Copies of this chain bind each other. A is one copy, B any other.
Amino acid sequence: MYAGKIPPAMLKKIVFSSLGPASSLVKVGPGVGEDAAVLQIDDSYHVVASDPVTGAKKNIGHIAVHVNANDVAVTGADPQFFMPTILLKSSVGEEGLRDIVGQIGKACKEVGATVVGGHTEFVSSIDMTIIAGTMFGYTSRYIPTSGACPGDAIVLTKGAALEGTSILASEREDELAGVLTTHELSIAKGFSSLISVVPEARLIRSYVTSMHDPTEGGIAGALNEMAEASGYGFDVDPAAIPVPDVTKKLCRHFECDPLKLISSGALIATVPPAHVNAVHDVLAGAHIEHAFIGSIVESGRTLDMPEHDALWDILD
């Protein structure tokens, strides 16, 4: 068995069949491409997302907050409250724990979320510290991944594979010494500071029909998940997808496709034609790089769904 998220077919066949009693309060439940659950509580919607960090050795507190904050933000809510379950490998001492919770506190401040509880324990059966996080927030309007409509333009912020680039630059630093210059290596590692999509999601959420945070499976995986969730297809020109130069070099070395490499930090959103100018204006006004890469169509997909993330082929 490989590492990483289980494939959609297995998820649908095995996991989605054991969900306990149905509840009419659930507006968005488990589904391929839905990053967060949405529950209707009185007049507001409660948005909850759970995502673990298992593939990184460094910055895991930082990553745990941001990937969960992203999942809440793409559903149209502000990330307000965070619950981390921190599973420490036994060699992590007080200093290691202090570093991790320091990162969590700092990242929570960045996105405006409060740590409201959680769990911290040492686990003897793991070789790597793992954080399983849950983020939640409340909103009067939510945006499901399934909301994409034919004719919508697809906008992408920042660029492909920022997260994968920073993970590989950290984990394979020695190997990359001859491939990237010291300066490029430091740029690549620094991409970890760009993984939040909370700012851009807040800016464009009133204009879009759906937003999605490409994590495992990269941009190609995220586009396919959006198509799966909405029941439509997409027409995207791969050449129109911005890939940072340093990412191109790194991917050439590892012989991997940057469009299939884990990509937190980019936000993909679908925009009705009437709002395309407004979305461009607010993103440009906030100096957030972005590109319109294609559109939602009735059927067909111009990029394949990766079987699993390119990261696992390299790290395993």
- Please report A residues at the B interface, Cβ cutoff 8 Å: 1-6, 10-11, 14-15, 17-23, 25-26, 29-30, 34, 36-37, 39, 41-44, 46, 48-52, 54, 80-85, 87-88, 90-94, 97-98, 101-102, 104-106, 108-109, 112-128, 130, 132, 134, 136, 138, 316
- Check if B132 sits within 8 Å of A94, measured CB to CB: no
Instruction: Quickly give the copy total for this chain.
Output: 2
Least CB separation from A110: chain B residue: B20
Least CB separation from A42: chain B residue: B42
- Check if B6 sits within 8 Å of A122, measured CB to CB: yes
Tell me which of B19, B22, B97, B121 contacts A54 (CB under 8 A).
B121
- Check if B20 sits within 8 Å of A109, measured CB to CB: yes
- Check if B80 sits within 8 Å of A23, measured CB to CB: yes
Which DSSP category, helix, strand, loop or mixed, fits chain A's interface? mixed
Chain A to chain B contacts (Cβ below 8 Å), 12 pairs:
A5-B121, A6-B122, A14-B94, A18-B115, A20-B82, A23-B114, A37-B83, A41-B44, A52-B119, A83-B134, A125-B128, A126-B128
What 7 additional pairs, Cβ within 8 angstroms, besides A36-B117, A46-B46? A1-B88, A3-B123, A15-B97, A17-B105, A18-B115, A20-B113, A54-B121
| Known A-B contacts A18-B115, A23-B114, A122-B6; A43 and B41 likewise in contact (beta carbons under 8 Å) | no
- Check if A6 sits within 8 Å of B97, measured CB to CB: yes
| Known A-B contacts A14-B97, A34-B117, A37-B81; A1 and B50 likewise in contact (beta carbons under 8 Å) | no
Complex interface: chain B residues within 8 A of A29 (CB): 114-117
A92 to B80, CA, bound (A): 35
- Check if A21 sits within 8 Å of B126, measured CB to CB: no
Least CB separation from A108: chain B residue: B20
Least CB separation from A120: chain B residue: B6
- Check if B41 sits within 8 Å of A121, measured CB to CB: no
- Check if B121 sits within 8 Å of A6, measured CB to CB: yes
Closest approach, in angstroms, between the C-beta of A82 and any C-beta of chain B?
7
Complex interface: chain B residues within 8 A of A19 (CB): 105, 108, 114-115
Nearest first, the 5 closest Cβ-Cβ pairs linking A and B are A20-B108, A18-B105, A132-B132, A37-B116, A37-B117
